[in-house]
Structure 1
Amino acid sequence: MRALKLIAALFVVLGLVACGGDPKFRTYNGPEVTKVVVYKDARKMQLFHHGKILKTYDMAMGFAPEGHKQFEGDGKTPEGLYYIDRRNPRSRFHLSIGISYPNKADIAYAKARGKEPGGEIFIHGRSGYNGGNKGDWTWGCIAVTDREMEEIYSMVRDGTPIHIYR
């Protein structure tokens, strides 16, 4: 009888562990992130609650860091005001949240020059990056560590403004 109770308890524990979910999805119960600010020259990203800095992260970005993203494949990270507009829990770079680039002005600028503006700009982790470059290496995205991305993914909501400065 005692052996049956031990086996039953073991199955209950294993069942609870199996239901624990993916550890990369964290919860956040702190102050609302009201804006994200990126300083390209300093390679810093900050999360704000109104005027208060909640977190600061070191980051990597597009492999051609100077200037505003204008065309597909230029390796630049956009500059200006955008919004977090989507989430990708199955990103090849761990987790990612989308930035609303290109906006109408970006599209018009590229089209007037007979080019495509590009897109698919995200804040993401580093899993899946196998290159040797420890500096800027993305095609225009903003990259942080996987652990930091888990935190950012839990804190930043769709619709949050992101200001990207040179």
Structure 2
Amino acid sequence: MPARKTLMILVKMLFLLLTAAPVFAMQGHIPLPEGIRADTILVEKAARLLTLYRDGQRIKSYRISLGGKPVGPKVRQGDMRTPEGRYRISLRNEQSRFHRALRISYPNTHDLRRAQNLGVSPGSDIMIHGLGERFAWLGRHHYLADWTEGCIAVTDEEIEEIWRLVPDGAGVLILP
């Protein structure tokens, strides 16, 4: 085999390993100790990453999809943006069309004030949810496209795990 062709194959393999390794590490099923519960959810929009914490210690991370226009904070209803700020898990929807959903307490007082000053509705119903039947075909590669209306999406299997690990009232910090 010519040296150039061998080199190209090695470069491609290295690229695949480097880009896939973090995904496999996060997507792989690692059993968690029984009864462990998260007290904080950190969402890093730019990294497309949701991480669960307990007493400041990382429990597990998940790749996420965001609203269709993910840069910047949510300002108004229909802007396709995912909010930024401090929130809480305020409600559970077991019958969500996106499999299961945990409602985030958006809008907070800062969001309400900003929307009022602009004379717009801030919107509501921002959730962490699964893919549901309509987007199930995306599978574990769902994070490669931002497709929600402002919510945070994970796979159905991941929302099942998050559902078990995150109690109502847990803190949610969404960073740019």
* Matched residue, 1:124: 129
- Whether 2:170 is the aligned partner of 1:154: answer no
- Whether 2:122 is the aligned partner of 1:112: answer no
Deviations for 1:87-107, whole angstroms, at most 9, x for unmatched residues? 000000000000000012211
Q: What residue identity is the alignment partner of 1:68?
A: P
- The answer to which structure has the higher helix fraction is 2
C-alpha displacement at 1:128, in angstroms?
Answer: 3.6
Aligned residues: 139
2-structure distance, mates of 1:64, 1:32? 31
Q: What residue identity is the alignment partner of 2:172?
A: I
2-structure distance, mates of 1:140, 1:129? 17
Determine which structure has more spread, i.e. the larger CA radius of gyration.
1
1-structure distance, mates of 2:119, 2:168? 31
Match of 2:53 among 48, 52, 73: 48
C-alpha displacement at 1:129, in angstroms?
Answer: 3.1
Shift of the 150–110 alpha-carbon distance from structure 1 to 2, 3 Å rule, reads: same
Secondary structure of the residue that 1:48 maps to in structure 2? strand
Percentage of matched positions with identical amino acids: 42
- Whether 2:150 is the aligned partner of 1:145: answer no
Deviations for 1:55-96, whole angstroms, at most 9, x for unmatched residues? 100000100000000100000000111000000000000000
2-structure distance, mates of 1:60, 1:129? 15
Aligned Cα root-mean-square deviation (Å): 1.7
- Give the TM-score normalised by structure 2: 0.75
Taking the TM superposition and a 5 Å limit, the aligned residue runs for 1:1-12 are none
Range with bigger deviation, 99-108 or 133-142: 133-142
1-structure distance, mates of 2:36, 2:156? 22
Q: What residue identity is the alignment partner of 2:174?
A: I
Runs of 4+ more than 2 Å apart: 28-32, 128-134
Unpaired runs of at least 5, structure 2: 1-32
